[in-house]
Amino acid sequence: MNQNPSPEQPPRNFEERFSPKNIKRRRIPKIFWISLIILLAAISFVFVRAYNAGSQIFTSKVSFFKKMEELVFSGGTTPLQGESSGRINILLLGYGGAGHDGPYLTDTMILASIKPDTKQILLVSIPRDYWWQFARGPRKINSAFSEGYTQNGNFDQGGQEARQVVSQLTGMDIPYYASLDFQGFVKAVDAVGGLDINVPDTFTDSLYPNDATNGYLPPITFSKGPEHMDGQRALEFARSRHAPGIEGSDFARSKRQELVLQAFKEKLRQLNWLTDSGKINNLLNIVADHFHTNIDPSQILHLEKMLNSKNTQILTETLDQDSGLICPGTASDGEWMLHNCDGISDAQIKQFFNDGFAIAQIKSEEPSIIMENAGIGDAAFNTIKTQLEEAGAHVYLGAYNGIKLDQSVLYEINPKPLTEKVLESELNISSAQPKPDGMVAHSDLVLIVGNQ
């Protein structure tokens, strides 16, 4: 909402930068990534038994026993890079794995940014078909991990190649990666005996993808009420996004994924390291085959403690055609791909990632806001209005009859804490004020914009 952007970052409106996303490609649900953190934190307590598996899972060059020593003496308090500056970045990679065409081409690339102070996680999806200028020539960005891995069968090298490319794309330091495939989650759920989930609403998905045929499965129905789910069923419940009505929304899918997460966490907590040693060994083998990361065990435990709260919030964004930033095109060999739209600079792509938290927060609350102009120029006022609308806010104009203000004022009618934080930060408002006596406002917030 900066009214005076630098020449390197020309002003953009929200329609071009932050329009609502309609994800049209298949991707691994965010439930996998959070479950990965919890699962790896749990197995980090197993030492000698975990050695072989751990050496495969934790791919950094430090020896596994050294990592375990650090875990023991740190008590799971080893900080992560970016924690001190308030933003931890982890690149999440999903691939088909053995038995698939292009087994290590990443079908999913998600930049996970974590704010420790607010316990917020922002997941920004990067399209696999985005065209990138590699040192060895231009091709789709999803080849980075595959090329790094296939050089010598090293997952850490694959992660490093992918991190480097996405760091250049986003302008952010990305020190960590975690990779997995679909079957890893399915097998892990089966290994703990399945999940008990209370389905909140009945729904049917008639367009659930069949990965084996690139078509669709027969319609899948979930009925309201308790259900015990095996791994494949839990995957379908978390991944479904084509049901009619509310269950086809991002909001409903996120809620379902939270239910799967809670059920998975509960099963892990119920494991007894002595009596359930067989299950634990099985989990270690599954994780070793399907999960790889350069985050050390002590850091994973620290991250799990950091995010193990009912207050943890997951926000999502997507760099896709609906963002107004990238457009379809054809490579020189006729291959379909995505690239920056005409007039869109690399700096504007970087700004998209930088602004992700603010925009995703407004979208998640869909606030209604009455706006009044108390002294700012009409052009600047309309820019703010447009930005809010295209971030998901419902904006209504009110007539301001008071004196001109040098500072904007925000009144809270119905709490919208995330939107309030964004407005306070962007418009230099100290804090939202309670509704004054006599004020009648049929909205969540009233924003009186002063001369900034």
Of the given ranges (53-62, 147-156, 414-423), which has the lowest mean pLDDT? 53-62
Q: What is the identity of the amino acid at 282?
A: N
pTM for the model:
0.69
Highest mean predicted confidence (pLDDT) among 331-335, 416-420, 438-442:
416-420
pLDDT at 433: 92
Cβ-count burial 169-194 (b if 16+ within 10 Å, e if not): bbebebebbbbbbbbbbbbbbbbbeb
Please report where in the chains the tokens 């997507």 appear, as a residue.
318
3-7, 82-86, 181-185, 404-408: which has the minimum mean pLDDT?
Answer: 3-7
**What average pLDDT does this structure show over 404-411?**
94
Beta-carbon count within 10 A of 215 CB: 9
Domain residues of the chain, as ranges?
19-184+271-343+346-354, 193-259, 366-449
Determine what percent of the chain is predicted with pLDDT higher than 70: 79
Range list of H helices, 196-326: 231-239, 250-270, 277-290, 297-307
Virtual CA dihedral for 56, 57, 63, 68, nearest 10 degrees? -140
Q: Which CATH architecture has domain 366-449?
A: 2-Layer Sandwich (3.30)
Give the pLDDT score at 65: 44
What pLDDT does 223 receive? 96
The reported pLDDT for the residue numbered 228 is: 97
Q: How far is CA 389 from the centre of its chain?
A: 22
Contacts of 172 (CB under 8 A, 6+ apart): 87, 89, 111, 113, 350, 353, 354
CA–CA dist 420, 436 (Å, integer)? 17
Burial tier of 135 (Cβ tally within 10 Å: 0-12, 13-18, 19+): exposed
Q: How far apart are CA 86 and CA 196, in angstroms?
A: 36
| CB 239 within 8 Å of CB 185 | no
Structure tokens at 334: 């006729």
Question: CA angle, 305 as apex, 304 and 309 as ends, to 5°?
Answer: 95
Pairing relationship of beta strands 220-222 and 203-205 according to DSSP bridges: antiparallel
* 380/2 Cα distance (integer angstroms): 10
Q: What is the pLDDT of residues 228-266, one digit of tens each?
A: 999 999 988 987 878 998 888 655 776 787 688 778 878
DSSP bridge partners of 80: none
Helix, strand, or coil (residue 88): strand
Two structure tokens written together for 169: 């794309």
**CA-CA distances (angstroms) from residue 177 to 57, 173, 224?**
12, 12, 37
Return the structure tokens found at 171: 């302008």
Q: What is the mean pLDDT of residues 301-319?
A: 78
Q: What average pLDDT does this structure show over 322-331?
A: 86
Q: Is 428 helix (H, G, I), strand (E, B) or coil?
A: coil
> What's the CATH code, domain 19-184+271-343+346-354?
3.30.420.590
pLDDT for residue 67: 46
Most confident of 10-19, 105-114, 396-405: 396-405
Over the chain, what is the mean pLDDT?
Answer: 80
Res. 2 pLDDT band, cuts 50 70 90:
very low
CA separation for the pair 368, 393 (Å, rounded): 6
Task: At 316, list the tokens.
Answer: 């999502």
pLDDT in tens, 11-70: 444 444 434 443 344 455 566 666 665 555 554 444 434 444 445 555 555 444 454 445
Sign of CA dihedral 93, 98, 99, 101: positive
Q: Is 401 helix (H, G, I), strand (E, B) or coil?
A: coil
